[in-house]
């Protein structure tokens, strides 16, 4: 198996790299008998030592993350969690076959911040002194170029204008899956929700965890028109 170990906010340690890689290979060898790619990220944030493991297993992602005050302990804890996931889904993973005749769909995730003026969010550049934002050429910028959109606030005694700043945008692939595989992927990554391409309808779907421990499924239908008359 291919194991890539990287370090963040800490010095590179060959001893930690070898420890994480060797223990990971030992855990994976118990459950998987085919080549996989694995990534390990070891980082330090304040007094926490964080170990993150990520495996690509026949189209599914298996992730585990733990933290403690000692990096070796964090590695052990994360691998224990990873092993429980692999043990739980051993049969399903072996039976899984990637869906090759359905193309990935893509979707964007944006992080937005509310601010009275553009550029006032924490860590951002100060807003231009002029009434209108300027681009790098000193010209009045288009809102999309500057990174914010105008929003009219209604319901108050006097309507006013504010801005929503786009902090960052990330594109993700909505991989083709059945609903059963999406549930498995949701559990493997311990996520709150998962966006995927439905293998049968080839539409974007969202599966999420409900407060009662069950799962909810949001399906999309490209044939539905937003202009349909209400009942």
pLDDT score, position 21: 95
2-95 with 99-104+175-231: one CATH topology?
no
Domain boundaries 2-95, corresponding CATH code: 3.30.160.100
CA 153 to chain centre: 31
pLDDT score, position 179: 86
Highest CATH level, class, for 99-104+175-231: alpha beta
Buried-state track 175-197, b at ≥16 Cβ within 10 A, e below 16:
bbbebebbbbbbebbeeeebbbb
The residue ranges of every structural domain in the chain are: 2-95, 99-104+175-231, 110-170
pLDDT score, position 176: 85
pLDDT score, position 96: 54
pLDDT score, position 212: 87
Task: Using 50 as the pLDDT threshold, list the residues of the chain that sit under it.
Answer: 118-136, 138, 140-141, 143-148, 153, 156-159, 228-231
Question: CA 201, 193, 97, 170: dihedral to nearest 10 degrees?
Answer: 90
Please give the structure tokens belonging to residue 29.
């060898």
pLDDT score, position 100: 58
pTM: 0.52
Q: SS in 3 state form for the chain?
A: CEEEEEEECCCCCHHHHHHHHHHHHHHHHCCCCCCCEEEEEEEEECCEEEEEEEEEECCEEEEEEEEECCHHHHHHHHHHHHHHHHHHCHHHHHHCCCCCCCCCEEEEEEEEEEECCCCCCCCCCCCCCCCCCECCCCCECCHHHHCEEEEEECCCCCCEEEEEEEEEEEEEEECEECHHHHHHHHHHHCCCEEEEEECCCCCEEEEEECCCCCEEEEECCCCCCCCCCCC
């Amino acid at each position: 198996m291919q194991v890539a170990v990287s370090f963040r906010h800490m010095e590179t340690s060959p001893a930690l790299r070898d420890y994480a890689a060797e223990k990971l290979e030992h855990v994976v060898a118990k459950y998987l008998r085919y080549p996989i790619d694995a990534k390990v990220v070891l980082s330090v944030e304040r007094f926490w030592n964080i170990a993150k493991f990520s495996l690509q297993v026949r189209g599914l992602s298996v992730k585990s993350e733990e933290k403690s005050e000692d990096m070796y302990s964090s590695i052990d804890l994360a691998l224990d969690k990873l092993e429980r996931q692999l043990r739980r889904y051993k049969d399903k993973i072996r039976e899984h076959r990637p869906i090759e005749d359905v193309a990935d769909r893509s979707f964007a995730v944006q992080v937005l911040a509310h601010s009275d003026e553009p550029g006032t969010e924490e860590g951002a550049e100060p807003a231009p002194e002029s009434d209108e934002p300027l681009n790098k050429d000193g010209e009045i910028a288009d809102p999309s170029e500057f990174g914010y959109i105008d929003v009219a606030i209604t319901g108050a005694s006097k309507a006013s204008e504010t801005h929503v700043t786009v902090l960052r945008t990330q594109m993700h692939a909505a991989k083709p899956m059945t609903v059963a595989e999406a549930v498995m992927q949701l559990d493997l990554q311990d996520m709150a929700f998962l966006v995927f391409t439905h293998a049968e309808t080839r539409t974007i779907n969202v599966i999420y965890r409900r407060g009662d421990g069950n799962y909810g499924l949001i399906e999309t239908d490209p044939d539905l028109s937003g202009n349909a008359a209400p009942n």
